[in-house]
Structure 1
Amino acid sequence: MLEKISAVKHLSDADEVLQNYIFRNLETIFTLSAREIAAQIPCSPSTVTRFVRKCGFDSYHDFQRYVKNEVSKVAGQGMTDTISLEGIFVNQVFAENVLEQVEMVSELLQQSSFIYCVGMGSSGVMANYAARKFNTIGYKAMHSNEPYAPFLSTQMKEGDSVIIIFSTSGETAEIIELVRLLKSTSKHIISITNTHDNTLAKLSTINIPYYIENQRLPYNFDLSSQIPTVALIEYLVAFCFNKK
């Protein structure tokens, strides 16, 4: 375990102290900043970052992720937040509060008896992918790319079910009609849309928007990227798994 850290040679006295501190605090070390570790040693934050580079990491964040992954393997968790939204997308594609939104959605999903993932077209593919991932980590989930599928009128009677709706525009007529129907049953509706200024977002319990350029061809063919949606699904699933 932690071969990249234990295999470093030609350590200075300060490096040896840091190495020992890391191995004595494996459960918390990846939650601490370089400045916080330096204060515990004590040493300068630059000493910590230099040691991290000696271990072969490009950044302190890579070091934290490596340690977290290694500790998770030993603990038998086997899954970590492999998509780092805060490092990749925040302030670029997602809103600043996206991590808070993910946590709120996670709490709703943990309390639910069933998760319904709905979308049409390319968003329907995302709904399928999300349901598959949730089933993999032990949640009961199903998907539909037909907003009027029979299950919506039968199993939707479960009071603690949650609906996750994927829609790039947030204005698809069939989806809006479905959501208005579901609103009358007091269901929790989570929507994932491109921008927050659309009808679906306003009708949702929680909306997680992303912000990329729409790419639509004649006859309404949609080539808009689904990469932000995939990243969000991956992060949400990992977050839910680690909270179970």
Structure 2
Amino acid sequence: MDNQYKSVLPKIESAYEKLTQLEKSVADFFLSNRQIVDFSAKSMSVRLAISEATLSRFAKKCGFRGYREFIYLYESSLNQSELYETVAQSSKSVLRAYEILLNKSYSLIDEDQMSRVTEMLSLARRTYVAGKGSSGYAAMEMAHRFTRVGVDINALTDSEMMMIQAVMRQEDDLAIGFSLSGASREVVGFLQESKRKGATTVLVTASADEHHKAYCDEIIFVPSLKHMDRGNLISPQFPLLVLIDMLYTSFMELDRARKLKLHEQTRKAIDK
């Protein structure tokens, strides 16, 4: 996957909710378009009945330096466009949907951010990871895996316990919230209260919302399923589990020998 060109489509999807209505019309065009046309600013302003300045603002909100850079990468990404066609309800379509999601994950991953969050996990006195529904199952998986390599980590899936534990957080604690929509009242409340108590906070989400920055030290973006397959073939846990694997791999690179020893000791204890 390292040799593949990173698609720009996941970046558009992540920024979608913070766009103005006019900018969303631009996003909708590029998300649905599958062919090379005249993408010049002059031509697109006529095609979409917008100003060239709107195209520039749209590109910058999606994380590009300007419209010219966006179009250069967008045209390259069209070579991968067959991955974004509507998939049929079959076994092959499930595998294809996973391929789409993995490509989106690759496009969104920030290696520097992975290193920062890994360090947070290493330095934290205690870590709590919260989630509701499918996100809650992912939180339990993360707690299970990291506990086995020496992290003092607990999963929170109950609304009351989220708030109780948030109130008890301290400056050397780490609070992680899983919410693909970014709108889970319980998870947001857990992070907000944990932040007020001085804890370090991380939100894992598929939604770009400027308001999250007020109470999150890090916001990790995972792929959205909104523009992928409309048959709901993929469990919403999947992008979270991919992220957990990446964090786990990064974490294991620090003091690897000691952590492997701990993992082996816990395996033997389970097998007894």
**C-alpha contact (below 8 Å) 1:124/1:144 kept by paired residues:** yes
CA 1:96–1:125 in 2, change beyond 3 Å: closer, same or farther? closer
Q: Which residue of 1 aligns with 2:246?
A: 235
One-letter code of the match for 1:104?
A: R
2:152 maps to what in 1? 140
User: How do 1:7-26 residues align onto structure 2 when only pairs under 5 Å count?
Assistant: none
Is 2:136 the partner of 1:124?
Answer: yes
8 A Cα contact 1:119 1:125, kept in partner: yes
1:152 aligns with 2:163: no
How far off is 1:136 after superposition? 1.0
Higher relative contact order (CA 8 A, sep 6+): 2
Contact 1:112 1:161 in 2 (8 A): yes
Partner of 2:175: 163
- Contact between 1:95 and 1:209, CA under 8 Å: does it hold in 2? no
Superposed CA offset, 1:158-193 (max 9, x none): 321101110010111222223222221121111110
Instruction: List aligned pairs for 1:47-196, cutoff 5 A.
Output: 92-149=104-161, 150-154=164-168, 156=169, 158-196=170-208
| Contact kept in structure 1, 2:201 and 2:217, CA below 8 Å | yes
Aligned to 1:102, the other structure's residue is in SS state helix
The question of whether the paired residues in 2 share the 8 Å contact of 1:171 and 1:200 is answered with no
d(CA) in 1 for partners of 2:108, 2:102? 6
For 1:238, give the aligned amino acid: T
Say which SS state the counterpart of residue 191 (structure 1) adopts: strand
1:16 aligns to what? none
Decide whether the 8 Å contact of 1:90 with 1:96 is kept in 2: no
1:110 partner letter: S
What is the DSSP-based 3-state SS (H/G/I as helix, E as strand, rest coil) of the residue aligned with 1:189?
A: strand
SS in 1 for 2:160: coil
Give the partner amino acid of 1:236.
L
Q: Measure how far apart 1:89 and its partner are.
A: 6.7
Query: 3-state DSSP class of the match of 1:148?
Result: helix
Residue 183 of structure 2 aligns to a residue in which SS?
Answer: coil
Structure number with larger C-alpha Rg: 1
**TM-score normalized with structure 1 length:** 0.54
Give the counterpart letter for 2:174 in structure 1. V
Equivalent of residue 207 in structure 1, options 219, 224, 247? 219
Q: 1:109 to 1:88 in 2, by over 3 A?
A: farther
Comparing 165-174 and 177-186, the one that deviates more: 177-186
Unaligned runs of 5+ in 2: 1-98, 256-272
Tell me, in whole angstroms, the C-alpha distance in 1 between the residues paired with 2:242 and 2:190. 26
